[in-house]
C-alpha cells in the first residue's frame, strides 16, 4: 500500500465524498473505521487519510432535483466525478413514514420548507403525527448510495460519468417515530426515530425505546441505513483507498 502523502491535499485524494455535510462526512468515516477494524487491522486505518470531499474540488451543495433517492444520489455522484475525475461516492437519504404515504421521503431535508432547519422539520412532522397511536407510527430511514469509478480503459483523457463504472447500494433501517425528541446526539430526524434494532431486541413496550440521538454512535454506525449501504460497497471502497 502506498501511503506517501504529497504537499497538495487534492493529490492525496483517492475517493471523493459527494457532500459537504459535516454530519454525513463524520458518520461515513466512523462507519468505514468500524468496517476496516472488523476486516483488517488498526494499521490499515491510514487509508482514511485519502478520502476527500466535494469542497476540496470547490464544489458547493448540489441541488437534489430528481424524483427518487437513487436518481438524486446518481446526480450528486456524477456532478462530483465529472469535476474531480476520481472515484466518487454520494448518497441521498431520508425518512419514510408509512401512514403519511411514504413522506417526507426525498423531501426530508426540506419538509417544512426550503429555508428551514432540522428542528422545523421535526416540529412539523411531530404535529402531523400528534394523534397517531404507536401502532401507526412505523417508519424507516432509507439511504441510496452511488459509487462511480473511472473506466478501466477510458475513451478520453477525462472520461464522463457515462463511461464510468457505477455501483448502487440501498440500505434501510426500520423503526417507529416517538411523540417527542429524545437524546442530544445524531442529526436530522434522529431524535424522534426509534430503531427496531434496539427496541425489538431489548424492550417490550413502546415507552422503553430509545432514539438514534439517545443511543451511542457505535450503535448507529452498525444499524443505520447509511451503515447498511456502506457495507455493501465496502470491498470496492477499501480497494480504491488502499491501492
pLDDT at site 157: 58
The domain locations on the chain are 9-242
pLDDT at 5 over 80: no
Percent of the chain predicted with pLDDT > 90:
78
The average pLDDT across 116-130 equals 95
Pick 1 or 29 by higher pLDDT: 29
Q: What is the pLDDT of residues 48-71, one digit of tens each?
A: 999 999 999 999 889 899 999 999
**pTM for the predicted model, two decimal places:** 0.89
Copy the grid coordinates of residue 193: 426515530
Residue 243 three-state SS: coil
Assigned CATH for 9-242: 3.90.950.10
The catalytic residue among 56, 92, 190, 214 is 92
Q: Are 104 and 111 in contact (CB under 8 A)?
A: yes
240 and 14 in contact (C-beta within 8 Å)? yes
- Does pLDDT of 203 surpass 60? no
> Is 92 assigned a catalytic role?
yes
**Cβ proximity of 141 and 188 under 8 Å:** no
Instruction: Tell me which DSSP letter residue 213 carries.
Output: T
> What's the confidence (pLDDT) of residue 201?
44
Highest mean pLDDT among 90-99, 112-121, 143-152, 176-185: 90-99
Copy the grid coordinates of residue 195.
430503531
Amino acid at each position: 500500500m502506498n501511503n506517501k502523502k504529497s504537499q497538495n491535499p487534492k493529490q492525496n485524494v483517492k475517493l471523493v465524498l459527494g457532500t459537504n455535510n459535516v454530519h454525513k462526512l463524520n458518520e461515513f468515516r466512523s462507519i468505514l473505521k468500524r468496517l476496516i477494524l472488523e476486516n483488517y487491522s488498526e494499521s490499515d486505518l491510514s487509508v482514511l487519510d485519502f478520502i476527500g470531499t466535494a469542497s476540496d474540488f470547490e464544489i458547493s451543495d448540489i441541488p437534489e432535483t430528481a424524483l427518487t433517492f437513487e436518481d438524486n444520489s446518481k446526480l450528486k455522484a456524477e456532478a462530483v466525478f465529472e469535476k474531480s475525475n476520481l472515484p466518487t461516492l454520494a448518497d441521498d437519504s431520508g425518512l419514510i413514514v408509512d401512514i403519511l404515504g411514504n413522506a417526507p421521503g426525498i423531501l426530508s431535508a426540506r419538509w417544512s420548507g426550503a429555508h428551514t432547519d432540522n428542528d422545523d422539520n421535526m416540529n412539523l412532522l411531530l404535529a402531523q403525527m400528534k394523534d397517531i397511536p404507536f401502532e401507526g407510527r412505523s417508519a424507516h430511514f432509507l439511504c441510496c448510495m452511488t459509487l462511480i469509478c473511472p473506466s478501466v480503459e477510458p475513451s478520453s483523457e477525462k472520461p464522463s460519468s457515462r463511461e464510468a463504472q457505477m455501483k448502487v447500494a440501498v440500505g434501510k433501517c426500520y423503526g417507529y417515530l416517538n411523540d417527542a425528541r429524545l437524546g442530544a446526539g445524531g442529526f436530522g430526524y434522529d431524535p424522534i426515530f426509534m430503531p427496531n434494532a434496539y427496541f425489538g431486541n431489548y424492550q417490550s413496550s413502546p415507552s422503553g425505546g430509545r432514539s438514534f440521538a439517545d443511543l451511542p454512535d457505535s450503535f448507529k454506525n452498525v444499524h443505520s441505513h447509511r451503515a447498511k449501504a456502506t457495507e455493501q460497497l465496502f470491498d470496492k471502497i477499501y480497494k480504491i483507498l488502499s491501492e
